[in-house]
Structure 1
């Protein structure tokens, strides 16, 4: 596995843990971290022994948004340089969202701006009680444009309008209520909750999980008639495939499927 300067990655029991490793700046996003995290998530997508990816941060906070030094740098960029920079950040969120392995975001401390974008791009979000979220961009005279498509998929236009425009801080319980994260736990129980979620995810067939993620993405853009065709073709494809056949056979024979024992 590749060595990284700004993050740490490890794999155990089919679960990859990707840890943002800039605790001195609350794991704020820099150009280097954005590049490494994009590359790391691409690597995790290709590793056969990875079934689930857990994205978390070292220290007290998950991710405090953009690094101050990075913000100073972009303030001096030309329009074209800012355009390229924004596209690189968008590529990070898309790489997380498009990862064929389920991605679990484990949030503690704070997730601000782009840090919330990382949570929104993940499939499953769990948060520590007392942690804080905010889309603070408008208070800096900018907008949460790059993360907006991923946030809208998670929480919808109504909540996004209110939170984007006010820039207000909100807690873990409200994040759960609006669908940004799915479960909240005390800090001492957070690791066990992540293990539980990872265990649930590795129970699914690898091909089925990847296919389900693709299906959800396709259905976002499909009309009713197109959706019917997509869903019928997908279930037929999986039922007749090797993994689907193994899953159905294992169910009928009252045993665990092979992918479960391979973990």
Structure 2
């Protein structure tokens, strides 16, 4: 049985995590999910890393969960199934809490758990040939761990469409349904991602960290609660050194243009 490795590289402001097991279409076993959690936590602590990109090796993002592991756990007891859920719960809960933007770079299929991973990332960009799906219902299963991410990203109607039909969608539908931000020609994908990385690298890291925190907190509650949270979070931005520097740069630039 071949195992899935994570290849981690750093280039400038960008760190890339590559899910690597082409022989099994970059399947994500429970151990892989746990390794992803560790890698994301480590990269989030590195000051030179400003953006984290997750991708798959070769022409497939990931086929989702490891089928061999799945077959081996079908007859597992309730306690074992509960405990092996820790890694998946940690992975899908972690990304919104990280201080840095996480981008999914999708080439080829992103299925089942991998489709959920794409949804969990802050941003997702794909080649036009990419495909997405959550086909678990076709074998009598239901995509529980990825459902919160799909609901947050796609809304109830589109998420229900995906998980109840089990159908595979193309990149154009994935954009329309809110699963990914954009789909481009394969030759343009890396340029698009590098443009986004460069844009984030120009921002104050502390402002990005606070902004991401505020976004996920406010988006997780109702309208009135969101306004109360906004009031409480406002001083963290208004009293920051980053804002003072930003105002100074703004007026310096404006004066130079006058």
Q: TM-score, normalised by structure 2?
A: 0.93
- C-alpha offsets along residues 180-205 of structure 1, whole Å, 9 cap, x if unaligned? 10111111111111111111222222
Contact conserved, 1:127 with 1:190, CA < 8 A, in 2?
yes
Structure-1 separation of matches of 2:66 and 2:252:
54
The unaligned stretches of length 5 or more in structure 2 are none
Offset of 1:126 from its aligned partner?
A: 0.3
1:207 aligns with 206
1:107 aligns with 2:114: no
1:166 aligns with 165
Contact conserved, 2:4 with 2:21, CA < 8 A, in 1?
no
24-33 vs 217-226, which moves further: 217-226
1:136 aligns with 135
1:1-263 pair list within 5 angstroms? 6-254=5-253
Contact conserved, 1:51 with 1:202, CA < 8 A, in 2?
yes
Contact conserved, 1:90 with 1:147, CA < 8 A, in 2?
no
76-85 vs 222-231, which moves further: 222-231
Offset of 1:228 from its aligned partner?
A: 2.3
Structure-1 separation of matches of 2:128 and 2:220:
35
Residues matched between the structures, number = 252
Structure-1 separation of matches of 2:9 and 2:109:
23
User: SS in structure 2 opposite 1:50?
Assistant: coil
Contact conserved, 1:93 with 1:121, CA < 8 A, in 2?
yes
1:258 aligns with none
Contact conserved, 1:111 with 1:132, CA < 8 A, in 2?
yes
- Deviating beyond 4 angstroms after TM superposition, the runs of 4 or more aligned structure 1 residues are none
Contact conserved, 1:65 with 1:113, CA < 8 A, in 2?
yes
Structure-2 separation of matches of 1:194 and 1:224:
32
Q: TM-score, normalised by structure 1?
A: 0.91
Contact conserved, 2:128 with 2:184, CA < 8 A, in 1?
yes
Structure-1 separation of matches of 2:10 and 2:101:
14
- C-alpha offsets along residues 82-111 of structure 1, whole Å, 9 cap, x if unaligned? 111123212111122321100110001000
Measured on the aligned residues, the alpha-carbon RMSD in Å equals 1.7
